[in-house]
Amino acid sequence: MAYAAKALEVRRLSKAFDGEGGVRSVDFDLAQAEVVSLLGPSGCGKTTTLRCIAGFYKPDAGSISIGGTLVAAPGVFVPPEDRQIAMVFQNYVLWPHMTAFANVAYGLRLRRVGKDEIARRVDEVMALLGLSGLAQRYPHELSGGQQQRVSVARSLVVRPKVLLLDEPFSNLDAKLRIEMRKEMRDLLRRLGISAVYVTHDQEEAMVISDRILLMDAGELVEQGTPFDLFEKPRTRFAASFFGVANLVPGIVRRRDGGLVLELDALDTFIALPGGCDGVEGDARVLGLRHDEVEVRPGSDALAAWIKGRIESRCYIGRAVDLEVRIGHRHSLRCRVDDARAVDWPEDVVVRLVPDRAVLLRGDEANAP
């Protein structure tokens, strides 16, 4: 059976700036027709990785292959225009003196594609992106969303082997950003395009991606499907990034013939969450999301309820985020779907409901 080349292979990629920052030993593949997101906070190295793939930066070490062709390695550096990639930037980067049609056609003209073929391909991709009636408008006559569609069309029309997208919707308003990411997801799936998508927005990455590469401080921390990273993170960083608001240390103990997790900071214990193994004496960290901590006003602690005191509250529309201090050693972040919590007294009781809790090993919890 013939070997099907990966759309992209990145091996031990490193790039530093004045000896600092950048990325260190990043390693991943992109399958044909797969969409992968590089996700992480600002400064984590995701855009540096993307620019190395594009050929805008020359790596200090490692290699990059696109469609089975080596484009960057020690002694090898293929310029961007010869890599058969296209890139959609955060800023639209449209020529202001050209119509939408001319902007989309620009890359084909550079490649000396025939006039009739240019017209056919541009009309096709503009229709695909809902731009057919806007071909003769100039950028200043288009909305932000329309300008970004033109930018995407310009990248697609050259039929790249790999499409690179660098936070393409971050300049759009919140409502339009949600609409555009759904359009982009459907478009990439329908066309079977291999793409690397950079974002700092975890929800955007989950909507668009087949697989997410989570980065921090220039390194690839964790990777997996959106479901795996959200439901089963393996590190403290991944858990926190994907919405685990509370990380409570504990020790596995034997109690009443079974294993429980003793949470000394909360002066309580819970049964080990379903599917979690453990050995007596193991150090673990329990990760709880906002909605896995139940809160009620009052100061009388019943069985399984813990006394606490509200330290801060934030109304977010039909819900209130609370920070509740437990004793002198710990606080829990909670969300109450009841706007009346804004006026609750400071004394409350809380109960853990860890049906879908994350249980990290002690050493994994201390990872980045």
Please say whether the structural domain 245-365 has been given the CATH code 2.40.50.140.
Answer: yes
Torsion sign (Cα): 325, 331, 337, 339: positive
Q: Where are the domains of the chain?
A: 8-240, 245-365
Q: CATH top-level class for 8-240?
A: alpha beta
pLDDT digits (tens, 9 = 90+) for 89-100: 888 889 999 999
At 163, list the tokens. 């499409």
pLDDT at 75 over 90: yes
At 174, list the tokens. 């919140």
pLDDT digits (tens, 9 = 90+) for 8-24: 999 999 999 987 779 99
> Is the separation of the CB atoms in 195 and 165 below 8 Å?
yes
- In three-state secondary structure terms, 41 is coil
The whole-model pTM stands at: 0.87
Measured distance CA(96)–CA(81) in Å, rounded: 22
pLDDT digits (tens, 9 = 90+) for 111-140: 899 999 999 999 999 998 889 889 999 999
Measured distance CA(11)–CA(25) in Å, rounded: 7
> Is the separation of the CB atoms in 53 and 85 below 8 Å?
yes
* Full 3-state SS string of 221-288: EEEECHHHHHHCCCCHHHHHHCCCCEEEEEEEEEECCEEEEEEHHHCEEEECCCCCCCCCCCEEEEEE
- Mean pLDDT (the chain, rounded): 90
> Is the separation of the CB atoms in 348 and 310 below 8 Å?
yes
- pLDDT number for residue 273: 66
pLDDT at 143 over 80: yes
End-to-end CA distance of the chain: 41
Crossing angle (nearest 10°) for helices 144-156 and 100-110: 20
pLDDT at 170 over 70: yes
Measured distance CA(63)–CA(71) in Å, rounded: 8
pLDDT at 2 over 60: no
Torsion (CA) 77, 80, 82, 86 in degrees, nearest 10: 140
Mean pLDDT across 71-85: 95
